[in-house]
Amino acid sequence: MSDSPHETLRADDDLGPLVEAHGELTLDPADDLFERLVVSILRQQVSMASAAATRERLFDAVSVTPEGILAADDQVLRDAGLSRQKTRYVNEVAEAFQRAGYSIAFFEGMSDDAVRAELTGITGVGEWTADMQLLFALGREDVFPVGDLGIRKGFRAVVGDVEDRDAMSAYAERWAPYRSYASLYLWRATEDIAESVDEVDES
């Protein structure tokens, strides 16, 4: 196997054309795990446009740190566009970060499954949200977020229909150990991806 994820995927019958079309896509890990996790919560079950608008209002209204979220009145968070449920979730995340001292450095050296187990122990953080942190905060190279609507749309466009998510995950094993990069290409396989809704249940 090539050392390069792009060379590996370029040789794949399904993803090769996407690599050629979009070039060498790269993972760009976030600097702040807490901010990235809050943004993922904002994106649960809403359009990207709606999440972006809420993100802007929230970041203008409060300091998006564990301390800033916990110090803010819940009504301030609601006024920024968070539902009652998401207001609870971001407070739960803030409390967990304060209690455990979570950071990007905290999770270095932990396996992907261990990171998922740790994060999904927080109310409001499910598998999809944990996968987003593995991809976009920790920069892990072999994550396949099958719970993401955009991934499923891209998969159907590129590979075709499969029976269920388990079958999709099984098929995606051919892209290991670079399933994160495969995901980046699948997200770009359909033109309407920017307007996709993340159909996940993180309760």
Other Cβ atoms less than 10 A from the Cβ of 98: the count is: 15
Q: How far apart are CA 163 and CA 168, in angstroms?
A: 8
Domain topology for 5-26+143-190: Endonuclease Iii, domain 2 (1.10.1670)
**pLDDT of 42-82, one tens digit each?**
999 888 899 999 999 999 999 999 999 999 999 999 999 99
**pLDDT of 72-124, one tens digit each?**
999 999 999 999 999 999 999 999 999 999 999 999 999 999 999 999 999 99
Q: How far apart are CA 197 and CA 126, in angstroms?
A: 16
Helix then strand then coil, % of the chain, to nearest 5: 60, 0, 40
**pLDDT value at residue 48:** 85
Per-residue confidence band for 194, with pLDDT thresholds at 50, 70 and 90: very low
Residue 197 has pLDDT above 50, yes or no: no
pTM tops 0.85: yes
**pLDDT value at residue 191:** 62
* Domain boundaries along the sequence of the chain: 5-26+143-190, 33-136
| Domain at 33-136: CATH code | 1.10.340.30
**pLDDT value at residue 162:** 86
CA angle 139, 203, 112 (to 5 degrees): 25
**pLDDT of 143-190, one tens digit each?**
999 999 899 999 999 999 887 999 999 999 999 999 999 999 999 998
6's tokens? 């792009």
